[in-house]
Structure 1
C-alpha cells in the first residue's frame, strides 16, 4: 500500500470518504429535484373572480393645511375656523368610514396651533391621521 508501513496485519484505521461523498451528492440531487416539483404543485381550486380594485381599496384622503399666517385649508379650499374643520372632517368621516386625514403645517408654525387642529380632527372621529413632511436629503 502506498504510504503505509504495515503489511495488512492490523486493523484499517483510515476512513474511505468516497462512498460518503457519493451518497451525499445523490441526496442533494434528489432534494433539488423534489424541491422543484413541490414548488409549483398546488391543489387545483377554482377561485371566485372579483374586481381587484374592490378588494384593495385605499382609504379616502382629506388634507388639512395650516399656512404660516394661521389660515386653514381643507382640500385646498379655505376653512373659516376650527369649527369648520371639525364639521367638514365629521361629514367626510360619515361619508367615508375609512377616512385618512393628512395634516400639513407650513414651516415654523407654533406647535400649539398644530395640536389644536389635530385635536379637532380627532374629535371629529378621524382615527387615521398623518403628518405630512418633506424628505430631508442630508441624511
Structure 2
C-alpha cells in the first residue's frame, strides 16, 4: 500500500498553437491568391496647343459662352437658368431646325468642368453632333518682341 499523499497538481491549460498557425497559413495563402496587384503610374499626356490660323467661316454656327460663374449665353443672348434642359431648349430654338449647325463652346478658364459638360449634353439632347471648342492662340516666341536686327 502506498500511503504517500499524492499531491494533486492542477495542470494549467495551455493553448495549442499548431491549429492556429495552420489556419493563419491558409488565410495567408487565400489572400495572396485573391489580391490583385495594381501598379500606380503617373499619366503622362501631351496637351494640344491651339493653332493661330484663322478658322474657316461656317454658315450655321452657334457660339455658346460659359462664364466663370456658370451662366450661359447663346449667340450673345443670356440663357435664364443653368439646367441642361433649359440649355437644350435654347440651343434647339437658336438652330431653327438646322441639324448641321456647329456648336462652338467658349468657356472661361475658371468655368467648372460640369458647366462645359452641361453644354455638351444639351447639344446632344438638341440633336447637334458637331462641337468645337474655342481656345486662345499661342504667340510665337519672339513675336511680341520688336524687330530683330
Please, what TM-score do these two structures have when normalized by structure 2? 0.49
SS of the counterpart of 1:95? coil
CA distance in 2, matches of 1:117, 1:109: 12
Cα deviation, residue 123, structure 1: 1.5
**In the TM superposition, what are the counterparts of 1:1-139 in structure 2 within 5 Å?**
58-81=58-81, 82=83, 83-137=85-139
SS of the counterpart of 1:114? helix
**Closer/same/farther in 2, CA of residues 97 and 121 from structure 1, 3 Å limit:** closer
Q: Is the 8 A contact 1:64 1:101 kept in 2?
A: yes
Paired residues, what number?
83
Q: Is the 8 A contact 2:68 2:112 kept in 1?
A: no
Q: Is the 8 A contact 1:59 1:98 kept in 2?
A: no
Alignment correspondent of 1:21: none
**Closer/same/farther in 2, CA of residues 90 and 75 from structure 1, 3 Å limit:** same
CA distance in 2, matches of 1:60, 1:72: 19
CA displacement, residues 86-125 of structure 1 (integer Å, 9 cap, x when unaligned)? 1121234453232111111111222122112211111211
CA distance in 1, matches of 2:134, 2:107: 8
RMSD after superposition: 2.1
**Closer/same/farther in 2, CA of residues 77 and 137 from structure 1, 3 Å limit:** same
Q: Which runs of 5+ in 1 are unaligned?
A: 1-56
